[in-house]
Amino acid sequence: MRFGLESGLFEKLEIKGFGKEVASPFELRVVLSNLHIALVNVGYGVSQALPVVVEMFARPEGSKFAIQQPEVHLHPRAQAALGDVIFRLVVSEKKQFYVETHSDYLIDRFRLNYRSINGDSCPDSQILFFSRNRDGNKVTPIPIEKNGEYSEDQPSDFREFFVREQMRILGL
């Protein structure tokens, strides 16, 4: 499975059966660096992300998914690989995703994929930015342009935190 390799989570999956009947118990294992590890003995992120990824591939073309924080407990490399998977399924199988995430790695990789395909075949995608002020909550759609960049039409506080943090790191 390409996701396993790109994410660094596993090289392949295997099933170890504990009986000959169809309904016999089994154990799902991940293989990484020639180690065969039961899924229950690997990081929590793998066991949480794997069923989601399998479901994304198993559903028919045009399916819709609502996924909440798929990045939880995943290494940043795996979060980015998830962005690749989502993008590929949007383009190749016309699947639609509504993803609630706090992962810049996932979003940035999704956006980066726009640069690898013809602009005409790029999907229409957007970020919904939620902000709170004294009047309540506000939702601002921020389109992703055909080159993968964010639209210029975005709230000033959308990237403000990250810019401030980088300036502090650089001593500016």
Helix (H) / strand (E) containing 48:
helix 44-58
Tell me: pLDDT of 133 over 90.
Answer: no
Tell me: pLDDT of 94 over 90.
Answer: yes
The model's pLDDT over 110-120, given as tens digits with 9 standing for 90+, comes to: 999 998 887 67
Amino acid at 139: V
Instruction: Note the pLDDT of residue 8.
Output: 85
Tell me: pLDDT of 51 over 80.
Answer: yes
**Residue spans per domain, the chain:** 2-123, 125-172
Is 53 within 8 Å of 45 (Cβ atoms)? no
CA dihedral in degrees (82, 145, 62, 71; nearest 10)? 20
Instruction: Note the pLDDT of residue 153.
Output: 84
Mean pLDDT of the chain: 91
CATH of domain 2-123: 3.40.50.300
| pTM (two decimals) | 0.85
Q: How are beta strands 64-68 and 96-100 bridged, if at all?
A: parallel
Neighbouring C-beta atoms of residue 55, cutoff 10 Å: 12
Query: Closest Cα to residue 87, out of 68, 107, 62?
Result: 107
Is 104 within 8 Å of 80 (Cβ atoms)? no
